[in-house]
Structures are given as C-alpha cells and as structure tokens.
Amino acid sequence: MVPSPLALLLALGAAATALAEPLRFVDCGSIDGSIQEVNVSPCPTQPCLLHKGTSYSINVTFASKIESQGSKARVYGEMLHVDIPFPIPEPDGCKSGIQCPIQKGHSYSYLNKLPVKSEYPSIKLIVKWELVDDQDQMLFCWKIPVQITS
C-alpha cells in the first residue's frame, strides 16, 4: 500500500516538530556583532532546567561587525539585577570554535560548556553571556531564564 500524500505530510510535520528549536533570548547589548541564533543543549523548553552536576553545550551563531585579534567570554548569573560571575572552563573565544583573528562581515559559531556545579543552590535566575572583542566591546550579549534544580 502506498501512503497517501496527507499521511506523508503529517509524518513530515511530526518529524519537524521533534527537532530542537533555537532559544528565545534577550539581546543585552551586542554592539560589535549581531546574534543569529542561540542554542543550549539539552534545553527542550524554557526556562531551561539546569540540573546540578551536569554540563550544558552552548552554541551561538553571530556575525561580526568589526575585526578583532581575540575575544573573551564573561558569564553571569543575574539575580535581583545583580550580576554574579559564573566560571566557565574556557573563557577564550578563539579556543571556543571561533577562528581568530575575527573578520568583519563573517559569521562564527561560538561553542562552549556551561557546567552546573552540585553546590549551586536550586534557584531561578537569568544567565547572561557576553563575548567581548580585543577592545572590550561587546561582540554579543544574550540572556535566558533558567532554573537550577537537583
């Protein structure tokens, strides 16, 4: 029996919705670049549930508006409008998927890990992720709501 066109269409639609979608994020001051997409994996729904003792993959696709020899990431947990530094294993953007020097008009995929330590409190907060160029100007800045859980 040959499947009907309607059955094929329904099957394709179901397969497409099963794929991960880019996160909704707030741009918090990207000056020297423009964010095209932010992905946190695994994070099937928002706010992202971050489980203690787990590491999450971060992938940010952005276009640079400037040239820069290097880049550096700064990550914060924002609570009550206060930024608390959040250590990441590799702050150097040139060691995180970006081929340096960064060239004006090129797109890049920034890749990193967000480790959630077991000793972190179970709390709702905002993750703020910045990448600055060699002049300390913002290549990108994005925020997403998260919930740290056991």
Q: What is the pLDDT along the chain (150 residues), one digit of tens a residue?
A: 444 443 333 333 333 333 446 789 999 999 999 999 999 999 999 999 999 999 999 999 999 999 999 999 999 999 888 999 988 989 999 999 999 999 999 999 999 999 999 999 999 999 999 999 999 999 999 999 999 999
Main-chain dihedrals φ then ψ at residue 142, nearest 5 degrees = -140, 155
Q: What is the pTM of this model?
A: 0.83
pLDDT 10s digits, 116-129 = 999 999 999 999 99
pLDDT 10s digits, 71-92 = 999 999 998 889 999 889 899 9
Strand 138-149 and strand 82-85: the pairing is unpaired
Main-chain dihedrals φ then ψ at residue 59, nearest 5 degrees = -135, 115
Which of 59, 67, 71 is closest to 142 using CA atoms? Answer: 59
How far is 74 from 114, CA to CA, in rounded Å? 12
How far is 89 from 53, CA to CA, in rounded Å? 14
Q: Are 92 and 72 in contact (CB under 8 A)?
A: yes
Give me the architecture of the 24-146 domain, per CATH: Sandwich (2.60)
